[in-house]
Structure 1
């Protein structure tokens, strides 16, 4: 049996892609008041994005169960687990604890990203596994794509990023006072300010410019993600298709609740993987619900 790949629900993988490649997705936790719900499993409360919700990583015990299931499915070929950045969540550290509790058939990857920045690394690993690669080769495929991935994000408001500790209170107050529309990027697994703009349209234009520049002239995998901004995401995807010379894969999908809680409604993100993340022919996947 091929090596089995595990990831977490923050990867935002469209269900059909996860199923096609046999990727096991571990749900992360969303906490709203006294309610604790699992992303991708439980029905989400209606007030999810009003600022009251928080998120929680998967536990070592939950990940140990998932890794054990994957080990059985691989029939001894091994497991590669790809999780969101250790700087954004405790999930990677929980994965390392689970790995140590098992044998050496599990290897855990810090994707150094989030959303499809994690998802593309998991997909690359699963595609390598489907081609019959060893566990170490599958691990390296995930690490390689994680290193090449570039993630850019525009949010409508900074409040929820501040509440979640992803940016400082000072930065959030400054941005609100100046009506600043920032463009963020993920650098070494951390959310960092890339550019400041005055309007949403300028921020989105900068987002597109950054993605085009990052793509280079090699075959490129793209993901455009959003939260309640489907039209905006489609427009950005169309513009990127027209401006990037060699797009071999496009995924359009929503941010899941564990990311959406921190980004807020209207958020749009682009993930660019120069060199691609696929061993397959060109494809387009629409992950809209």
Structure 2
């Protein structure tokens, strides 16, 4: 069995960078709602450029990669002698990309192995790199699948959008709800994990930013996050807020090296800038 490892740019890394690690990374699409225009994530644009467009109030959404590109990539995989694809894409609760990849592989006779980790971003990157490393070390495929699935089953992603006007413009929050939330200083906290099958769900609504951060930190404590977990703080053009969240986390988890990273564009396009997220998952 010769296995190709495949992910997509919701992992937060460009196809060029992942290619250096012998991992195929398929670019998702950024779609402009009011224009006949699309961009390939990390190919035609960058996180910084997407944040700039969000601040300019450009209306955007996201889409799976072009079907022609998907078919070409999987055709190239087969031509290179691979018979199996191990795929950790953006999770099925957020996108239908998984189905497109599966069909493209199966249509040309490639065995398709998929693990749904119920989230995206840093955890997705970690899992595909770990699976690839384990495979190269000779670990049995069933053991690789079990390890990655355990990470997915126990991981947690919490997201706190900061720009309620962006949510309102995108139709994800009614004008009345946005106004009331602003007046009452209500901070919505969203979660993505196995309990909601990888779909974005409301975790809590807390008054004031500091209390919302405390609520997120407390949830990691409640989940018994320990030294066997990795913790990341993601942000969409809101480094100062991310540093505050990291410092609060560091107080409770002093043994962790908590990294700050960019929030992937497939999330920030929907949440807007000034958004901070936390991911915690097993090593």
Find the counterpart in structure 1 of residue 240 from structure 2.
231
Which 5+ residue runs of structure 1 have no aligned equivalent? 277-289
Cα pair distance change 1:129/1:215, threshold 3 Å: farther
Find the counterpart in structure 2 of residue 35 from structure 1.
37
Secondary structure, in 3 states, of the residue corresponding to 2:203? strand
Report the Cα offset of residue 4 of structure 1.
Answer: 3.2
Cα pair distance change 1:65/1:108, threshold 3 Å: farther
Report the Cα offset of residue 68 of structure 1.
Answer: 4.1
Cα pair distance change 1:212/1:72, threshold 3 Å: farther
Cα pair distance change 1:17/1:111, threshold 3 Å: farther
Cα-to-partner distance string for 1:100-139 (whole Å, 9 max, x where unaligned): 2132433123221122242333233223223233444433
Cα-to-partner distance string for 1:244-289 (whole Å, 9 max, x where unaligned): 2653x6442101322211011110111101x31xxxxxxxxxxxxx
Find the counterpart in structure 2 of residue 85 from structure 1.
91
Paired with 2:243 and 2:15, the residues of 1 have a C-alpha distance of 19
Q: Which has the higher helix share?
A: 2
Which 5+ residue runs of structure 2 have no aligned equivalent? none
Structure of larger gyration radius: 2
Find the counterpart in structure 1 of residue 267 from structure 2.
259
Paired with 2:172 and 2:89, the residues of 1 have a C-alpha distance of 18
Paired with 1:263 and 1:38, the residues of 2 have a C-alpha distance of 19
Q: Please show how residues 104-119 of structure 1 align to structure 2 within 5 Å.
A: 104-119=110-125
Q: Is the 8 A contact 2:65 2:97 kept in 1?
A: yes
Paired with 1:98 and 1:167, the residues of 2 have a C-alpha distance of 36
User: 21-30 or 219-228: which moved more?
Assistant: 21-30
- TM-score normalised by length of structure 2: 0.81
- TM-score normalised by length of structure 1: 0.80
Cα pair distance change 1:191/1:128, threshold 3 Å: same
Q: Is the 8 A contact 1:30 1:56 kept in 2?
A: yes
